Amino acid sequence: MRISVDKINELLNSKKRITITTHTNPDGDAIGSSFALYHYLLKHNHDVKVVTPNKHPEFLDWVPGIKDVEIFDDNPEKCMKIINDSDLVFTLDFNDLKRASKLGLAINKFKGTTIMIDHHQNPVGYSDIEISEPNITSTSEMIYMFIKMSGKIHKIDKDIATCIYLGMMTDTGSFQYKGVNSITHQIISSLLACGVDNNKIYNNVYNSNEISKLRLLSVALKNLELITESKTAVMHITQDDLKKNDYKKGDSEGIVNYGLTLSGIHFSVIFIEDEDENNKFKISFRSKENFPCNEFASSFFNGGGHLNAAGGIYKGNLNSAIEYFKKSLNEF
Are residues 249 and 187 part of one domain? no
Are residues 222 and 201 part of one domain? no
The predicted pLDDT at position 21 comes to 99
Q: Give the pLDDT band of residue 177 (cuts 50, 70, 90).
A: confident
**Out of 31-35, 45-49, 118-122, 281-285, which region has the weakest mean confidence (pLDDT)?**
118-122
Are residues 273 and 137 part of one domain? no
pLDDT digits (tens, 9 = 90+) for 242-282: 999 999 888 999 999 999 999 999 999 999 999 989 999 99
The predicted pLDDT at position 28 comes to 97
The predicted pLDDT at position 290 comes to 87
Domain count, the chain: 2
Are residues 192 and 302 part of one domain? no
Of the residues 181, 206, 231, which one is the last residue of a structural domain?
Answer: 206
pLDDT digits (tens, 9 = 90+) for 56-110: 999 999 999 999 999 999 999 999 999 999 999 999 999 999 999 999 999 999 9
Of the residues 164, 184, 206, which one is the last residue of a structural domain?
Answer: 206
Are residues 222 and 82 part of one domain? no
Are residues 82 and 53 part of one domain? yes
Are residues 219 and 178 part of one domain? no
pLDDT over threshold 90, residue 176: no
pLDDT over threshold 90, residue 178: no
CATH code at position 121: 3.90.1640.10
The predicted pLDDT at position 160 comes to 99
CATH code at position 235: 3.10.310.30
Are residues 50 and 162 part of one domain? yes
Are residues 320 and 291 part of one domain? yes
The predicted pLDDT at position 250 comes to 87
Average pLDDT estimate for 199-219: 95
Dihedral angle sign, alpha carbons of residues 311, 317, 320, 326: positive
Are residues 180 and 216 part of one domain? no
Average pLDDT estimate for 206-229: 96
The predicted pLDDT at position 121 comes to 87
Residue 138's closest CA among 128, 146, 126?
146
Q: Give the pLDDT band of residue 12 (cuts 50, 70, 90).
A: very high
Are residues 224 and 175 part of one domain? no
The predicted pLDDT at position 291 comes to 93
Are residues 217 and 193 part of one domain? no
Ordered alpha helix ranges (H), 71-224: 76-84, 101-108, 139-149, 158-171, 182-193, 198-206, 211-222
**Half-sphere exposure of residue 282, counting CA atoms within 13 Å on the CB side?**
11
- The more confident residue out of 163 and 307 is 163
Dihedral angle sign, alpha carbons of residues 21, 23, 25, 28: negative
Of the residues 172, 206, 240, which one is the last residue of a structural domain?
Answer: 206
Ordered alpha helix ranges (H), 251-310: 293-300
Q: Give the pLDDT band of residue 286 (cuts 50, 70, 90).
A: very high
Distance (Å, rounded) from C-alpha 177 to C-alpha 188?
A: 15
The predicted pLDDT at position 83 comes to 98
Mean confidence (pLDDT) of the chain: 96
pLDDT digits (tens, 9 = 90+) for 185-200: 999 999 999 999 999 9
* Share of residues in the chain with pLDDT > 70 (%): 100
- Domain encompassing residue 322: 211-331
